[in-house]
Amino acid sequence: MSPVRIAVIGVGPRGLSALERVISHTALDGSPVELLLIEPGELGVGIHEAKQPDYLLLNTIASQLTIFSDARMTPGAPVTTGPDFFEWCGQRHGAVEFDDFLPRRLLGEYLQWAAGELLDRASGSDRLTVRHLRAVASSVRQDSDGATVTLADGAEHRVDLAVVTTGHGIAAGPPVTADGFIAMPYPLPDQVDAIADDATVALLGTGLTAMDVIAALTVGRGGEFTEDGYQPSGREPRIVLANRTGWLPCGRPATTRERRAAPAAFLTQAAVAELREGTEDGRLDFRRDIEPLILREALGRMDSATPEETATVERILRPTRETSPSYEQYVAELVERASADLREAERGLGTSAVKEGLEILRDHRDGLRAAVDPPGLTEESHRYFMSEYVPLVNRTVIGPQKERIDELLRLMAAGVVVPGPGPRAELSRDGDGWVLTSTALDEPHRIAADLVIKANMDWPVIDPELDPIACSLRDWAAPGPDGALRLDRDGFVVQAEGPDGPRAVAVFGPPAEGASYYNHYVPSPGVWSRALTDLDRVLGPVLGTGRSNGSPGSDLPASNSQSL
């Protein structure tokens, strides 16, 4: 009997999950399976390299990461159990707290170990053969009876199913271009090592990437946070923060091990489906249809909130274009808002009404996904969601740890970090350097910089050097909005000829961003996982095990929900 052939292209964390699901399904009876893992580097690690400084931290707490599966993650589907990241760290690195934001290198070590553990388990299978092809895949194309994966050396592999999980598509560029611009700050600290101590650096973005860059340029250069503030080493450049809103992101709040989200009352998949029934083509307007549900969901959690707390949540969820009389007053307001948010983050979920209200954007992420999933949003609304609302969600509930916000305020007090000239500052060349010019201050303000670091990532990545596979898909796929791939609900690429063609190429993880929403995360143990369930929807039929009973068709019970 000829084996079923499956290729997983790009084996970082999401590709490793695909390996885990194949191992789980092939534990059941069925045809022989040959699995090709096409990955030029180390399996599983992706961007989480094991050799990186300890000051580069994860943005997910230790207890919410795993590469194995359990019955609650994939209801009704086979599982491959194993230690989650928190358990593994405790076994190998001593006691850690469930809510620790651990060094990113530790997750890299866990992923390395998990890859080896999964391969060991696969080697004992009577049904499954796994091959690791240490090569770059240059293209993938489907036809009537499968798909062909072409490697960079020209070798071709015919498969029944190709699963594309090429990840973030991040590659290092030149550290500093001739005009003083760093377009890709990773890997750190290598990309910023050449920055002079007396330089002024304009940092574009205040999210997770920016926090990594700031850490590399401060504690990475010998500075130290103390009880009294920040003690500079003298090797730090002057860092100017600039982003489009002009305000710092919200800090991630404290939580408890037992916390589970209350069920959604308004932002439900059923509510989204009902809204679609009232449209001509099933597509929604995000601002008109979904944002009111989000606000109702948030305020519905805040029965005992003060008017000030309610106003804070409304201001964050419905931002307006703000101006300030002067730079000094803008900076004072920025520090006041960030300090107030830090106090709420330290109070934590279950105590802070503000943080509970905002947390619905994480707790009920599947309501947002339901709005984006096919048939999705109107073209204009999809553009608004991806360019405006996704950044709002990121800075509200997927921002830096509260500890990073505290450090940022200390760095400002020490004069190492200074805010840019207000919201919507304009960046332009100025002789051999750069200048940031205010657009939202009554008294104009300018800040000069020697160089610029771009610390905000664009999605999707459409670059033949960074992600040749994603580019090859666009040669034959139906065009999606704003450069996104067009995928059906199961994750299969929709051909230009129409949605009724063959289904042999599926895409998951960051390359699927735009066709769906929020795909760049590692699964969490003990709670239903859309990431694993979506993989089952594609792998199950090919492997002869059908679809998981956990396929999302209705809202999940609160006992199965957790902030990810």
Under 8 Å between Cβ of 471 and 464: yes
Range of the domain at 540: 4-46+114-170+460-494+524-560
Per the rule left: phi > 0, alpha: psi between -120 and 50, beta: everything else, 301 is alpha
Q: Are residues 330 and 280 in the same domain?
A: yes
pLDDT tens readout for residues 483-506? 788 999 999 999 988 777 789 999
Q: Give the single-character DSSP code of 510.
A: G
Percent of the chain with pLDDT over 70: 94
Which of 397, 412, 440 is a domain's end point? 397
CA–CA separation, 312 and 341 (whole Å): 10
In sequence order, the 6+-apart residues with CB closer than 8 A to the CB of 513 are: 459, 460, 484, 519, 520
CB 227 within 8 A of CB 410: no
Kindly state whether residue 366 falls inside one of the protein's structural domains. Answer: yes
**Parallel, antiparallel, or unpaired: how do β-strands 417-419 and 426-430 relate?**
unpaired
CA distance 461 to 224: 36
Is 92 a domain residue?
no
pLDDT recorded at residue 554: 39
CATH number at residue 545: 3.50.50
Q: Are residues 295 and 354 in the same domain?
A: yes
Average pLDDT (530-552) is 80
pLDDT exceeds 80 at position 536: yes
Mean pLDDT of all residues belonging to the chain: 92
Q: What is the pLDDT of residues 421-474, one digit of tens each?
A: 999 999 999 999 999 999 999 999 999 999 999 998 765 566 666 778 988 998
In this predicted structure, which of 149-153, 184-188, 389-393, 497-501 has the lowest mean pLDDT?
497-501
The string of pLDDT tens digits covering residues 20-44 is 999 999 999 999 999 999 999 999 9
Same domain as 273, residue 366: yes
- What pLDDT score does 458 carry? 67
Q: 392 with 424, same domain?
A: no
Strand partners, 128: 33
Concatenating the DSSP letter of every residue in 514-556 gives TTBS-------TTS--HHHHHHHHHHHHHHTS---TT--SSPP
Residue of 239 and 559 predicted with greater confidence: 239
* Burial class of residue 60 (count of CB atoms within 10 Å of its CB; 0-12, 13-18, 19+): buried
Give the distance from CA 350 to its chain's centroid: 25
Residue 548 has pLDDT above 50, yes or no: no
- Same domain? For 288 and 383 the reply is yes
* 372 in a structural domain: yes
In a domain, 440, yes or no: yes
Pair (218, 311) in one structural domain: no
SS3 labels along 249-288: CCCECCCCCCCCCCCCCCCCHHHHHHHHHCCCCCCECHHH
- pLDDT category at 169 given cuts 50, 70, 90 is low
Q: So what's the pLDDT on residue 318? A: 96
- Give tens-digit pLDDT for 91-106: 999 889 999 999 999 9
373 and 439 assigned to the same domain: no
What confidence score (pLDDT) does residue 555 get?
39
Residue 345: which pLDDT band, with cuts at 50, 70 and 90?
very high
Shared-domain flag, residues 223 and 291: no
Task: Quote the pLDDT of residue 171.
Answer: 55
Give me the pLDDT at residue 482, please. 79
The distance from CA 26 to its chain's CA centroid, rounded to whole angstroms, is 30
Could you tell me if residue 160 is inside a domain?
Answer: yes
How many domains are contained in the chain? 3
Over 60: is that where the pLDDT of 562 sits?
Answer: no
* Average pLDDT of the segment spanning 36-63: 94
Which region among 106-120, 363-377, 549-563 has the lowest average model confidence (pLDDT)? 549-563
Is 277 in the same domain as 410?
no
Q: Does residue 414 fall inside a structural domain?
A: yes
Report, as an integer, the average pLDDT of 261-272. 94
Question: What CA–CA distance (Å, rounded) separates 63 from 421?
Answer: 39
**Residue 470 sits in the same domain as residue 435:** no
pLDDT at 190: 93
Show which of 397, 422, 439 is a domain's final residue.
397
**Span 112-122, mean pLDDT?**
98
Q: Is the pTM higher than 0.95?
A: no
pLDDT score at 172: 52
350 and 294 belong to one structural domain: yes
- Is residue 79 in a domain? no
549 has a pLDDT exceeding 60: no
CATH of the domain at 244: 3.50.50.60
Q: DSSP secondary-structure letter at 495?
A: B
Give the model's pLDDT for residue 546: 72
Claim to verify: residue 405 and residue 290 sit in the same structural domain: no
Residues contacting 274, CB < 8 A, separation 6+: none
Reported confidence tier of residue 480, pLDDT bands at 50, 70, 90 = confident
Whole-number Å distance between alpha carbons of 104 and 52: 8
Structural domain includes residue 490: yes
pLDDT at 139: 96
